[in-house]
Structure 1
Amino acid sequence: MTIEVGGRLPEATFSKMGAEGPELVQLGDLTKGRKVVLFALPGAYTGPCSTIHVPSFVRTAADFRAKGIADIYCVAVNDPFVLKAWGESTGGTAAGITFLGDADGSFTRALGMDFTAPQIGLHGRSNRYAVVLDDGVIAAANVDKPGVCDISVGEALLAKL
């Protein structure tokens, strides 16, 4: 599967931290009748993810909302406990970004966006991309080349709106 404007992402079940612990959410429920941003990255607490990628969406969150984006979701192949702590430490949670765990990597694999870098302990992680979904349909998409954090940042996606 490829990420392209006019297409749809595969249905997925994500985990997120709720008020009483981990919760499962369906991608379709998050996007139905709504305009949202979804961006994905290799993992919590990794270099560019923490210093470039998430901060770019923290900086642009208010601008996205001013353009009609209802929610911003960050997807990583991590568990909801790690993502909760990481969201708080990066300021992402305070900016209104919801962190979603693709804990088993099935969503990432279905998209063909997975990679493995065993030398640094990353197995089945996601390459970087960012999309605007309008009622589940991809309205804008930026997919980075492997190992790069460039066009999937908040500012680049915002420029497409």
Structure 2
Amino acid sequence: MNVSKIVARGIKSPCSVFSRYFQNSSANMVQVGDAVPSVDLYEDVPTNKVNLAKLSSGKKIILFAVPGAFTPGCSKTHLPGYVKKADDLKSQGIDEIVCVSVNDPFVMAAWGRDQNTAGKIRLLADPSAALAKALDLSVDIAPLGGVRSKRYSMVIADGKIESLQVEPDGTGLSCSLAEAIKL
């Protein structure tokens, strides 16, 4: 089912439609109300560390994660949706929008240039899957090189998770899209 049809039907979380069919969480998975972990991510180059806890302190940000830069669903749907809606989301009180992937910072920088994210979305690399593991949102996708991040989105206010949408199968494109974000 198309996410816009789900949202049009008044279902606030498309993930809820699928949750009875898929196991989408574990006992250790981060939850709404939890503080974000103090994990270093990387922007553009390996020497430019961005600590997630510090980045989100005193701000309201959207963080969404994708399984891999330059992959079809991420490049054709997920990231472009946030680029398109960035100004609208920021007009609703979002200070920053951050995309994270288990890639190196050079790949994320190149993907950002390819997708015209400058001034709209910050692309941060999680090269060792430290954030994905700390949130218990990692998944082993052998064809993409092994451990990756599940696809999810969250709203973080002053370091605390306000909303969290995890794709039921970890990689699909429904509840973590820009159109479905819960502000």
| TM-score (normalised: structure 1) | 0.90
Gaps of 5+ in 1: none
**Superposition deviation, residue 95 in structure 1:** 4.9
2:59 to 26, 34, 58: 34
Residues 29/47 of structure 1: CA separation in 2 closer, same or farther (3 Å cut): same
* Structure 1 residue 125 corresponds to structure 2 residue 148: yes
* 1:104 paired to 2:128: yes
SS of residue in 2 equivalent to 1:104? coil
Q: Distance in 2 between matches of 1:156 and 1:121?
A: 26
Q: Does 1:71 align with 2:89?
A: no
Aligned match of 2:21: none
Q: Could you tell me which residue of structure 1 aligns to residue 8 of structure 2?
A: none
CA contact (8 A) 2:69 2:111 kept: yes
Residue 176 of structure 2 is matched in structure 1 by 152
Aligned pair count reads 155
Q: Runs of at least 4 residues of structure 1 off by over 6 A?
A: none
Give the Cα–Cα distance (whole angstroms) in 1 for the partners of residues 150 and 125 of structure 2.
Answer: 14
1:9 aligns with 2:33: no
Residues 13-51 of structure 1: CA deviation (Å, up to 9, x unaligned): 001126xx7401111111111111100010101110111
Q: Structure 2: which amino acid aligns with 1:15?
A: Y
Measure, in 2, the Cα distance between the counterparts of 1:113 and 1:34: 23
- What amino acid sits opposite 1:151 in the alignment? C
> Deviation digits for residues 42-86 of structure 1, max 9, x if unmatched?
010111011111011011101110011110100100111000010
Residues 37 and 53 in structure 2, CA contact (< 8 A), matched pair in contact too: no
Aligned to 2:118: 94
Which deviations, in whole Å up to 9, do the C-alpha atoms of 1:112-154 show, x marking residues without a partner? 2111222x23311001110110001111221112231110011
What is the Cα-based RMSD across aligned positions, in Å?
A: 1.5
Q: Distance in 2 between matches of 1:84 and 1:8?
A: 27
Match of 1:52 among 77, 99, 119: 77
Which residue of 1 is the match for residue 10 of structure 2?
A: none
In the alignment, is the contact (CA less than 8 A) between 2:62 and 2:155 conserved in 1? yes
**Distance of 2:71 and 2:105 partners within structure 1:** 16
Tell me the CA shift for residue 3 of structure 1: 3.1
- CA distance in 1: counterparts of 2:110 and 2:155, whole angstroms: 25
1:135 equivalent in structure 2: 158
Q: Percent identity?
A: 37
Task: State the distance in 2 between where 1:42 and 1:6 align.
Answer: 24
Gaps spanning 5+ residues in structure 2: where? 1-27
Could you tell me whether the CA contact under 8 Å between 1:114 and 1:124 is conserved in 2?
yes
Superposition TM-score, scaled by structure 2 size: 0.80
